[in-house]
Amino acid sequence: MWQTTPALTLNQWLAQLADEAQLSGLANLPQVLDPFAERLLWEQVISAAMSAGDSPLFDIQGMAASAVEAHALMRQWDLKLPSSEASDETRLFLSWQSEFLRRCQAGQWIDLLGQQSAVIELIHYGQLRISGQILFAGFDRDTPLETRLKTALQQRGVEIGDLPTGHNAVTEDLQVLAYPDLQAECQAVAEWAGAQLAAEPTLTLGIVVPDLAGARDQLAFALENRLHPALIRPADAEAARCFNLSLGRPLAEQTIAQTALDLLSLASGGKLEQGRIAALLNTPCWSAAMTEADGRARLDAAMRRDLPYFTRIPALLRLGARLAEQGSDFCPQTLAHLAALQSAAEATGSRRRSAAEWATHFREWLKLAGWPGERVLSSHEFQARRAFLETLDSLAALDGVLGPVSSQEAWRRLSQLCRQRVFQPETKGKPAIQVLGTLESAGLSFDALWVMGVSDEVWPPAPRPNPLLPAELLRREQVAKSSAEVELDFARRVQQRLLRAAPKITFSYAQADGARLLRPSPLLAGMKIGIAELHPPSALAWKMASTATPLEAIADAVAPAVAEGEKVSGGTWLLRAQAICPAWGYFQFRLGAEAMEAAIEGLDPRARGTLVHGALESFWRMAVDSQTLHAYSESVLQEAIAEAVAQAITDFEQQRHLTLPVRFRQLEAGRLERLLATWLTLEKQRPEPFEVVACEQEAVVEIEKIRVRMFVDRIDLLDDGRRVIIDYKTGATIDTKNWASERITEPQLPIYASIAASEPVAAVVFAKVLADKPAFSGIAEQGDLLPGVRALGDPKEKRFDPERFPDWPAVIEHWHVRLHAVAREVREGVAGVMVADENALAYCPVLPLLRLAERERLLAQQENQP
């Protein structure tokens, strides 16, 4: 039996030799720092070098990453920094490097390249057992460190060489194609791969992408859509594919790891955005996710409604307890796990501990939270869980560098480790298609190869010299990424390798990225570029959409009529939605469809409007009438406003079961006080005396057997016994033109004036309570009732046509008739998608159900029919 030849990366092989030297006693090498520990040590060095006031102003992590790279370049390229070329940045780096090396010596550590240099010295002096033949693959250009290694091996008599590929000659079967954009290019690559495998299933295909990170998602989607359309179901997410992408994703993006990090963040006293908590409640990777899925979704909806944007575990537990008291015990096991997690975190305390201690506590906390859930893990999830636990072990290994830290700091470092670690599930079988970056393709050969995305922006790569080392020195030594010339030379070497990787090769590029035009890479010069012919995609979805079988059309504009005794909720909002679009009224108020609330940080416009309503209600319950308002001195008025605002905020907090932060409450109170003072200045300008006889007046009426419950913000009584109906608005856009139309889309005031009111009404108005342009907007029976409100029949009044509305009773009758007509539609089940102005749907919570795009398509088809 032949023994398989070992294939290792250079780092793996040198690390293996270092372990052998350590175990055999040939050398006493210091403990090697892994990349994360090395960067962490650089962060500490840089932070210590700065004054306390400067640290927050700088990107310490970014500077540490540059320092790690600069240190590695000096080792790899044997760079010597003459003082004459040292800039301020370089001198600063050299001081950091000196302290870094001092700390490494004190801690008996060594960086990875330092260890490799030591191993090469051991090889040079013949102190390690080396194979007689070593082949190198993928070394497009050797660094001085790699050259020293090869020299040392040759001096030991080792036969070294380059791994031969299956194709030694540059291919002559070559084409270059241009596509309109990346999507078209990805689609073409997928079609090519499908056609190749359909013709010869045993082929090995390569797809090389210089910017694989940028094209990964679109290319993966195109390949999936073309090659595996039947695996679209979630249950087939881990089924074997005929293609493999070499680029994985950060471990932190895996659901099972992200769940663990979010649970630990909550346990560490951190607060999470509602969006992340919502994702946590809906993930299957902890507690009773399957048996309590519906309950957790309802808890999510309640959280969005009742809790602030940033939320902690105690707030969730209180919400769950309150819902349980109300008879809605949504997810007891989930809440029990959260309570156990919170108790364990509190018992652990907040004192600083070693990273190893925190790693142990984190494991215990996750177990108490029921992580990774009650169901059997899939293969990918099992691998991700194992990778996360290994990352926890890596956190524990940071003890020497990190020292005692808080739980929040330990969690932050664990999160960094998870973001840094790339997770790639094990590939099943041997996929026929390999999707690779330019470096990963080294040493591989294929039956056919497609190199895509070869535009001048990415090929050759743009130079990126290290900012901490002298640019002139880097260019002189031809260090990687130091100049355009170096990168051009690198790209040429890689391209020559690719041209030998397959007998049939295609290069392609996109001609545009959005509005930005792209050009072909200069390395394609001399090759004939063809404009690719675009073919219709052959994916399953496109085939289904283009089928010749006509689709069956079903008329769904009429829903079941309201049955006798059926209760229809919504009140004036139902009639408003029905008037704007009957389908909206049907979906939301008869079927009960509603959009999930989206929490925002602070108060949303609706909450701020509620506060304004509450403050004005409190004020007028004290002031009562215009006479009292005019009698207030400036100081007394300010005191009354402040008292009304304070009461409104208190009532708001009680209703929402929350406590606003002190500073936020002060700012909001100041805003409300200024707003009320501005508004009351306008109220003082009203020419007619008035008495506020109702605030938040409830009224219940029946229109076409539809029970309508409504609340009128305010009703004023004039001296002649007539009423003025007022509705507060805090938005700048208010439409009153619809009051004269066939479909009244702002029905609340017309309903009260024409149906609910038992006393004569003199005016119906919106009160635009705005800081910049406060105003009344509406219609009055006569002039001089309210500032800016025109009377019916006024020459400047353009909304109500005098021929249709000769007097006030005509307006009232119009409202009565049209409101009954809309209510009759509700009763009869009229539910079509009929919209006069789509702008009126801006705040429609069931907008996706209306399928406006489909409606427009059907209307266009009807217009085109003979």
**Measured between alpha carbons, how far is 50 from 60 in angstroms, rounded to an integer?**
10
CB 46 within 8 A of CB 71: no
CB 501 within 8 A of CB 493: no
Tokens 């295909």 map to which residue?
Answer: 205
pLDDT for res 290: 93
Tokens 């390229």 map to which residue?
Answer: 77
Kindly report, residue by residue over 314-334, the tens digit of the pLDDT: 999 999 998 888 877 789 999
pLDDT at position 270 over 80: no
Taken in order 666, 672, 678, 684, the sign of the CA dihedral is negative
Residue percentage of the chain with pLDDT more than 70 = 96
pLDDT at position 495 over 90: yes
CB 637 within 8 A of CB 734: no
pLDDT at position 847 over 70: yes
pLDDT for res 542: 62
Helix (H) or strand (E) holding 180: none
**Ranges 124-133, 212-221, 331-340, 720-729: which has the least confidence:** 124-133
Model pTM? 0.83
Q: Give the pLDDT mean for 301-312.
A: 88
pLDDT at position 548 over 60: no
**pLDDT tier, 145 (very low <50, low <70, confident <90, very high otherwise):** very high
pLDDT for res 385: 97
Q: Give the pLDDT mean for 606-615.
A: 94
Q: Give the pLDDT mean for 370-399.
A: 95
pLDDT for res 865: 65
By CB atoms closer than 10 A (0-12, 13-18, 19+), residue 219 is: buried
Tokens 């079903």 map to which residue?
Answer: 554
Considering only the C-alpha atoms of the chain, give the largest distance between any 2 of them, rounded to a whole number of Å. Answer: 116
**pLDDT tier, 269 (very low <50, low <70, confident <90, very high otherwise):** confident
Question: Considering the chain, what is the average pLDDT of its residues?
Answer: 90
Beta bridge partners, 168, equal none
Nearest to 775 by CA among 786, 791, 784: 786
CB 561 within 8 A of CB 829: yes
pLDDT for res 864: 67
Kindly report, residue by residue over 49-97, the tens digit of the pLDDT: 886 555 556 788 999 999 999 999 999 999 988 777 788 899 999 999 9
Q: 693 — phi, psi (to 5°)?
A: -100, -10
pLDDT for res 535: 67
**Ranges 50-64, 233-247, 593-607, 831-845: which has the least confidence:** 50-64
**Measured between alpha carbons, how far is 270 from 264 in angstroms, rounded to an integer?**
9
Give the number of residues written for the chain.
866
**pLDDT tier, 843 (very low <50, low <70, confident <90, very high otherwise):** confident
535 vs 828: which has the higher pLDDT: 828
- Structure token pair of residue 12: 């793996």
3-state SS assignment for residue 98: helix
pLDDT for res 638: 96
- Structure token pair of residue 396: 């524990």
**Measured between alpha carbons, how far is 468 from 665 in angstroms, rounded to an integer?**
48
pLDDT for res 778: 94
CB 568 within 8 A of CB 707: yes
3-state SS assignment for residue 244: strand
Kindly report, residue by residue over 780-789, the tens digit of the pLDDT: 999 889 999 9
- Structure token pair of residue 72: 């590695």
Q: Give the pLDDT mean for 425-451.
A: 91
**pLDDT tier, 446 (very low <50, low <70, confident <90, very high otherwise):** very high
